[in-house]
Structure 1
């Protein structure tokens, strides 16, 4: 695992290039029907809850000029992006498996297409971002007298349950240096919140800020809070996601090596001799889905 972390610290791994695009449209279990159903279910689920948030929450009671404030909240930014990412993954799954036989065949010379790069970019932002939204809401914003409705549960709890389950299901790799993308997303929202308040914007309750913790009438305190969140908490959360993804990849290889999958090797390298007792051995480029074919700095 430590070697896997060391190999990740390479500037070329900042990019959205990957030598095996097939990984972005397949499951760890390599079961196409299951993965297709998984993608369609969650894409439908997230889109429905974005729409329901306008009905079950009191947004419909406000005037049209106030309703647009749905878009000023970080929670809604993140969940809307989560829905877009889920739809993108579902569309890419069916398009690649229907139209890009070269990618499906896992030919390593196939370049990474732009739509899979977009999918990976969104994946990095919403995976780390969803965990951050959940952590901040329940640790900082939630009050004991706050009414917990279905929309809040979906936007602040189920979102993280989904991305956690997705880490175990999808074969999409996580690169350590990709923390830069959720950081940039956080910085973008910070700038938006500052400009929105300076422009005289108010939240849905008419208060002169979006969140109390991002009240720019106290600039130094808010700047400190935003900086800690963007440049410390987000990278740390992404590191946890990376380590979890690395561990999941090793567990899947352990399961395959112990005979848990069907006989014979598949295109992703099952049966390569990885067993439950050699998890501490030197990680090679072919030892797991996560570490496979990384751009080497050596």
Structure 2
């Protein structure tokens, strides 16, 4: 569909919704696209829906709709996504934040419930920085380090920390998991790549073609990153401070395997947290 300058805002939303519905894509994507591309708030769309979108808006919305119909995720088109009520800009080397990952934040906050405590947080494979930034907004006495192998991801994570008001309490390090780090952290979190390599070809196109493969590929059985991180923390020099905890996001069927890896390396008091769908989503260990 090609829009014209005289198309009203309300008609634009109706037409985008219909086009996406015909393609089997839900209504929420239409609203996200129209609001972002036209630079509107939901209130403006309701109260001033009869105003035309103009030539620039028509061209931009036509391009955005074509991209969505071609299978590009709406988050990639608009360039940002919401996580924990915060907005995170995206880069090609960052995953789109997912609602399931909020389970990591919830589990971490329950384990460290004192808002005023000066926590030291390490986020391994920080990507967009969504987990670290969410935790820092909830724990104003905390300082966090986000680590990633991708410089492009780190640049985006730093921008997201600043945009969400926690840039002065966050540092970002380019490294391969724990390499080059030292010292104890009160909280270590990670959402590492955990898709078995052979399964990547079976993922939905929106993931397979648009998410960075390095953030998906967990090796032959999907567990490579867990083995590496747990072994490095167990061996030091980076590790958990007294009373500290380590929390991983895991695939829906990986909790038992990750628990076994941690226990074999001497980590204590393992705990599993389930997401809203009932899947075992977070595996946590305490200081060994």
TM-score scaled by structure 1? 0.25
More helix by share: 1
Q: Which has the higher contact order (CA 8 A, sep 6+)?
A: 1
More strand by share: 2
TM-score scaled by structure 2? 0.26
